[in-house]
Amino acid sequence: MAMGKINQERREEILSAALRIAENGGLAAMSMRAIGAEVGLTPMALYGYFASKDELLDWLVGRVLQEVPLPDPEADWRERLLACARGARAAAHRYPRTFSVLLNRPVVLPEAMRVVDPLYGALMDAGIPHERVAGWERMFSTFVLGFAVSEVSGRFGEGNLGTRERRERLGPRELPAHHRLGEVLDLPVDWDAEFEEGLTRLVAMVEAEGTGPA
Amino acid sequence: MAMGKINQERREEILSAALRIAENGGLAAMSMRAIGAEVGLTPMALYGYFASKDELLDWLVGRVLQEVPLPDPEADWRERLLACARGARAAAHRYPRTFSVLLNRPVVLPEAMRVVDPLYGALMDAGIPHERVAGWERMFSTFVLGFAVSEVSGRFGEGNLGTRERRERLGPRELPAHHRLGEVLDLPVDWDAEFEEGLTRLVAMVEAEGTGPA
DNA sequence: ACCTGAACACCGTTCAAGT
DNA sequence: ACCTGAACACCGTTCAAGT
């Protein structure tokens, strides 16, 4: 940037505008021109706040991370882990078209550390050896982000509509296991319950490795 | 499309060209013009094979999935699960700039079912109740894809370079847990081992829920 | 310190036309 | 059945200029 003080409030305003545009219209609609118009500026004025659109997207990761609430530090470490996970998934549901930037871009922001820090704290309090805390945090956040992104990107399937007919187009020779399972695959899915089940398993695994409160 | 027979070979050729361009130059370099030039066609000729660039990207998901090898159906269910997971991660390392399309786009392709089918088969053979097979497959593939995408997108950090100085810029008040952990966070990470550890845990969990071979 | 306007080299895509 | 060329409405970004 090579720039002196710049108006931080205005920068936040620009990022919120970008987020708004991405949520109605999709990420593709989030052009510099559209963002500029949303805040009443020429597209070129944005280059006073961000060196490029790519840098703006990096900051947008931080803007989305701000929407993940921090857990109550007084709570049990289990409660803190659950609160972080549920808060992140809730943010994904709130910003379904933008959330995937979290998995697609290298995270090199203070905001990322702000969100990771309570996870480190909870894992230490669970008694995880210090040299293994970062690895557990990666497991935990990979599950949470992976699940949330899969949900909102539609990778898990949009309510299984049409799944049955697609399955039958290929036949039991190509898809033996699908056909053995049959109509069980068309059952509705309780995504909340599935997420909570995964979380419960993870917390149990942390508990098993931990040696009790530090 | 509203189109009769079209040259399937040519379509594969186009998708391979697109993959090649994305890998050297990044996804942003994968323009219709660039893809056309790579196969010796006008950009407009591509619209005879794909209705839009978006549809081309959907097919590209299938093209990447083709790179995930199918496991030996004679092997133990554990071996089959491991083979699928390692094969998918290997594909991510082979196509680091393209692989994230798998998590970002709804998957509605026969190729996706082709990859999922052996997972269903392995989970059934592990004794997972039929109505829970799809859920387990989602857990498993979320871990594998989430980990692989995080690795290649740099979300896990590029060898922790600069982590220390960024940590110290924020101080122990904002990042208490980071500072309690201190230099342990700068230790090098064995990604292969971390992936294998996660896999081992997942397989153990499947085994615990399963009731033995069907 | 912050913003604009014109311009450049690109995009994806439509349309009419060619063989 | 397959492909081209010109054109349209967009992009991100540079540069010189304005206050």
CA distance B190 to chain A (A): 10
> Three-state DSSP class for A41?
coil
The helix, strand and coil proportions of chain A, stated in percent and rounded to the nearest 5, come to: 70, 0, 30
Q: Give the span between the Cα atoms of A85 and A88, in whole angstroms.
A: 5
What are B91-144's pLDDT values in tens digits? 999 999 999 999 988 776 888 899 999 999 999 999 999 999 999 999 999 999
Q: State the DSSP H helix or E strand holding residue B16, giving kind and residue range, or none if neither.
A: helix B8-23
Residue A35 makes CB contacts below 8 A (sequence gap 6+) with: A14, A17, A18, A21, A43, A46, A56
Query: Which amino acid, one-letter code, is at A10?
Result: R
Residue B4 makes CB contacts below 8 A (sequence gap 6+) with: none
Nearest alpha carbon to residue B147 among A139, A29, A66 = A139
Show residues of chain B in contact with A139, CB under 8 Å. Answer: 198
Kindly indicate the confidence band of residue B164, based on its pLDDT and cuts at 50, 70 and 90. Answer: confident
pTM of the model: 0.93
The helix, strand and coil proportions of chain B, stated in percent and rounded to the nearest 5, come to: 70, 0, 30
Q: Give the span between the Cα atoms of B33 and B20, in whole angstroms.
A: 14
Distance in Å, residue B33 CA to nucleotide D5 C1': 14
Nucleotide nearest to B39 (CA to C1'): D3
**pLDDT confidence of residue A111:** 87
Residues of chain A with pLDDT under 50: 1-3, 213-214
CB distance from A97 to chain B under 8 Å?
no
**What CATH code is assigned to A2-51?**
1.10.10.60
Distance in Å, residue A35 CA to nucleotide C7 C1': 21
Nucleotide nearest to B47 (CA to C1'): C13
Contact criterion met (CB below 8 Å) for B66 and B24: no
**pLDDT confidence of residue B106:** 74
* CA separation, residue A37 to residues A5, B28, B42 (Å): 23, 24, 35
Pair of tokens at residue B118? 């052996």
- What residues does each domain of chain B span? 2-51, 77-209
**Record: fold of B77-209:** Tetracycline Repressor; domain 2 (1.10.357)
**pLDDT confidence of residue B162:** 63
**pLDDT confidence of residue A105:** 80
CA distance B96 to chain A (A): 11
B34: pLDDT strictly greater than 50? yes
